[in-house]
Structure 1
Amino acid sequence: MSKLKNKTAFVTGGSRGIGAGIVKELATQGANVIFTYLSSDQKAKELVDLIESLGVKGKAIKADTGNKQDIESAIRSATELGKIDILVNNAGLFINGAVDDESINIEEMEKQWNVNVLGVAHTVRSILPLMNDGGRIISIGSTGASRSPYPGLGDYSATKAALAAYTRSWARDLGGRNITVNIIQPGLINTDMNPSDGPFSEHMLQAVALGRYGQPKDIGLAVAFLASDDAQYITGTTLNVDGGQSA
C-alpha cells in the first residue's frame, strides 16, 4: 500500500503502544515518519529500523510533549526531512482520581493537562508554519470525553474533551488552507498499560459490542485513512474506534 507515498508525518509519543501502531501503519502506507518518545531509547531505535526496512525514512526524537522548548526543538529537527504533511498528536498522560480524593497529587494533574492539552495546542501552533496546505492534523482522544464508565476519570476525561473542542474549532480555523483536523477516540486497546488479559479486562469487555479488545494497528489504520486523500472531505469529526463500546 502506498496511499501516503512521499508524505512526511510527525507523531508525538510514537515509540510504544498505540503510538507505535500509528507509526508502523503510516510507514507501511508509504509515509516518512518522525516520532517523539520520552524514555525508551532501545524501543525507539528498533522502531526506526523497522520504518527504514519498509523503504521510507524514519527518525526518533527524544522530547517531552509537555515541555515547550522540547517540542519546538523536535519540530525543527523533524523538518530536516522537509515540510510536514501529517501531524498526529498521540502523546498523553493518564492519571485518575476521584474529585473528593484528598491524596491526589495536584502537580501530577497539572502535568497531565500540560501534556494532553497545552502540549497539543503548542505543537499545532508550532508546526502550522511548517505544514503544507492540504495537510492533516489528527489527535488521539478518548471515549472518556463523552462518557464516564467508572469513577475517577474526571481530570483525564476533561483533558480529552478539551482536545475534542479544539479539533472542532481548528477545523474552522484551517479550512481555508485545506488542512483537515480530526480526532480519534480509542476504546479498549491492547497495550502494555491496558492489556487484554489484565485483571479487569473481562469486566470492561461487557460494554464492548464486538466482545474483544482492539489492537494498536486498528488505531493506526484509522489514522492512515484520515491522513489519506480518501478522507479529504472529512474535518472537524470525532471518530470512535472502540468496537461499539460507545454504541
Structure 2
Amino acid sequence: MAGFKGKSVLVLGGSRGIGAAIVRRFAADGATVAFTYAGSREAAERLATETGATAAATDSADRDAVIARVRDSGPLDVLVVNAGVAMMGDPLELDADEVDRMIRINVQAPYHAAVEAARRMPEGGRIIVIGSNVGDHTGFPGIAAYTLTKAAVQGLVRGLARDFGPRGITVNAVQPGPVDTDMNPADGPLKDTLYGLMALRRHGRPDEIAGLVAWLAGPEAGFATGAMHTIDGGFNA
C-alpha cells in the first residue's frame, strides 16, 4: 500500500503497543515516519530498523522538548500524539508530583505539540490524539486523575478543531478501550472484570487502533473533525 506516499508523519510515543502499531501502519502505507520514545530505547531501535522510521528520544513531560521535537521535524502532514501514562489508585494516596507529571504528558504535551505542528502544517493536515474511552465513562473507582486527563483531551480536540478548521486542518481523538498491550495485557488480572462490561468479550488489537488512526489521517476522513472516535469493544455502550 502507498496511501501515504510522500507524507510526513510524526508519532509521539511510538516505540511500543498502540504507538508501534501506528508507526508500522504508516510506514507500510508509504509515509516518511518519525517517532519518539522515552524509556524504551531497545524497542525503539528495533522498530526503527524494522520499519525504516526515525526514532528520537523525547520526554513528553518536558514541554520544551516536545515543542522542539515537533518543530525540528519540519512541516508535518500528520501528527499523532500517543504518548501517555496512567496512574490509578485512591486519590487520597496518589503522589501529587506524579499526578502533575501525568497531566503534563497526557494533556499539556498534546496541546503544545498540536499547536507547534499547526504552525507549518499544510492544508489537509491531520492532528490525532489518542485519548481513552474513560473520557466518557469512568467505569471504576480509582481512576479520577487519569479520567481528568482524558476528558481534557476532548476539550483540546474540540477547541483546536475550530481554531485550525479555517486552514483545512482536522483535529480528532481516538478513544480506545482495553487493548492488548504491556499496560493492559489480554491475559492480565482485569480480564474477567473488563469482559463483563463489554459487548465484545476480548481485548482490542493495536493494529485495530492503528487502522482507525490511518482512516482519520486519510482523504476519506476529510469532513471529520472535533470528534471523539471511540473504539472499545462496546465497553461504553
TM-score range normalised by the length of the shorter chain:
over 0.9
What are the within-5 Å matches in structure 2 for residues 139-218 of structure 1?
139-218=129-208
Alignment correspondent of 1:55? none
State the AA in 2 paired with 1:94: A
* Match among 47, 63, 73 for residue 68 of structure 2: 73
| SS state at 1:182 partner | strand
SS at match of 1:183: strand
Counterpart check, 1:245 vs 2:235: yes
Q: Are 1:104 and 2:94 an aligned pair?
A: yes
Alignment equivalent of 1:133, drawn from 123, 129, 141:
123
CA distance in 2, matches of 1:12, 1:159: 17
Aligned-residue offset at 1:184:
0.5
Q: Deviations over 1:177-202 (max 9, x none)?
A: 10011100000100011100001212
Query: 8 Å contact 1:29–1:224 — kept in the other structure?
Result: no
Name the CA distance, whole Å, in 2 between partners of 1:15 and 1:130: 25
Distance in 2 separating the partners of 1:61 and 1:128: 20
Contact 1:136 1:227 in 2 (8 A): yes
Amino acid at match of 1:207: L
Segments of 5+ residues of structure 1 without an aligned counterpart are 53-57
Structure 2: gaps (5+ residues): none
Q: Is the CA contact 1:88–1:139 (under 8 Å) kept in the aligned structure 2?
A: yes
Partners of 1:200 and 1:125 lie apart in 2 by 37
Q: Which residue number corresponds to residue 34 of structure 1?
A: 34
Q: How many residues matched?
A: 237
TM-superposed deviation, 1:71:
1.2
Deviation per residue, 1:25-46 (Å, 9 max, x gap):
1111121111110012111111
Aligned equivalents of 2:129 and 2:42: distance in 1?
25
Pairwise CA distance, 1:133: 1.7
Q: Report if the CA contact (8 A) 1:18-1:219 is conserved.
A: yes
Task: State the partner residue of 1:87.
Answer: 79
TM-score (norm 1): 0.93
What's the Cα RMSD here? Answer: 1.1
Deviations 1:190-219 (A, max 9, x none): 001110000121221111211111111011
Determine the structure 1 residue equivalent to 2:16: 16
2-structure distance, mates of 1:181, 1:125 = 11
Alignment counterpart, residue 213 of structure 2, candidates 220, 223, 228: 223
SS at match of 1:61: strand
Separation of aligned partners in 1, 2:72 and 2:161: 26
Q: How far did 1:110 drift?
A: 0.4
Closer, same or farther: CA 170–76 of 1 in aligned 2, 3 Å: closer
2:157/2:226 contact within 8 Å kept: yes
Equivalent-residue separation in structure 2 for 1:210 and 1:149 (angstroms) = 16
SS at match of 1:73: helix
Q: Distance in 2 between matches of 1:92 and 1:40?
A: 14
Aligned counterparts of 1:211 and 1:97: Cα–Cα separation in 2: 25
Percent of pairs identical after alignment? 39
Q: 2:105 aligns with which of 115, 134, 140?
A: 115
